[in-house]
Structure 1
């Protein structure tokens, strides 16, 4: 699957062939990403990225998730998609990360907007959620910029290496998106 956002930006289903590029990107942004993402210490070699991608492909085939590489100016710069899709309740949870060098181009706002369109128009979902660590100002800016509703805070929602972080939960309903 591929989603073209503009001349410089597109999304496509992550493939096993992306393992080296995804690992290189992860490794180059390791310290930057580690501040908010709990999986960096488990991604030490290309095989770890390959195993992650294989699990993404299995999730896509099971229709329980969708992971896409973000391609900006013909290079993979991050991953975004639906970490979980619940077809019975018509809800999906968006997750995303972007390399440090790709920041400041509006990439993630455009990416999430495209994912919202796909969720509501193609998947016919009723709700999309985004959860972000309370202190992760850059990540929280995305749903806030796109007029998501702040639904609450989950205390101690995630263990981040040596401490817990709270998550702020944002939600958007299909009827709100269509406005």
Structure 2
């Protein structure tokens, strides 16, 4: 039987740790976002993150949504330093599926850290009993598409101009992995 319950509040990998946010992270989260604003310009939420208080409000939302089992958002920590965020969202408990989302500071790209994030999150989801996990990214986001493919997600298609981000229509690539594919992977 599939029981709805929260994911673990801490997930540890070989190099990174994912931790449920705390309100005290807000200034650090904001500073990280602000320092990476150009790098993150295509993330729809950056336009609403203008102060540390905005980050605190977001963290408060994630904590409430965690408690009502609709979102599990984590800070990504590398060598003890906050370097980005990742989470499980678009959760459909009835159909046992969800989506992974993530972002990382530009200086930490290209080190395989996001692949480690994906492995930790998908493992937690499949162990919880989910049937399907998705990764969605902007059609032009080749780095995120490579992460999905590198981690065994199947490209399932592109939703043409399905999002309006900062006044511009954007297409979304959809990648999926099924529980049986996760179970049979090395």
Q: Which TM-score band applies after superposition, normalised by the shorter structure? A: over 0.9
TM-score, normalisation: structure 2: 0.92
Per-residue deviation at 1:14? 1.0
**Number of aligned pairs?**
176
- What are the residue-to-residue correspondences of 1:55-70 with 2, within 5 Å? 55-70=61-76
Deviations 1:32-65 (A, max 9, x none): 110x211111100011001111111111001111
Structure 2, unmatched stretches of 5+, are 1-8
- What are the residue-to-residue correspondences of 1:1-179 with 2, within 5 Å? 1-6=9-14, 8-34=15-41, 36-121=42-127, 123-179=128-184
Per-residue deviation at 1:160? 2.0
Helix, strand or coil for the counterpart of 1:82?
strand
TM-score, normalisation: structure 1: 0.95
Per-residue deviation at 1:162? 3.0
Structure 1, unmatched stretches of 5+, are none
Q: Superposition RMSD on alpha carbons, in Å?
A: 0.9
In terms of mean alpha carbon deviation, does 125-134 or 149-158 score higher? 149-158
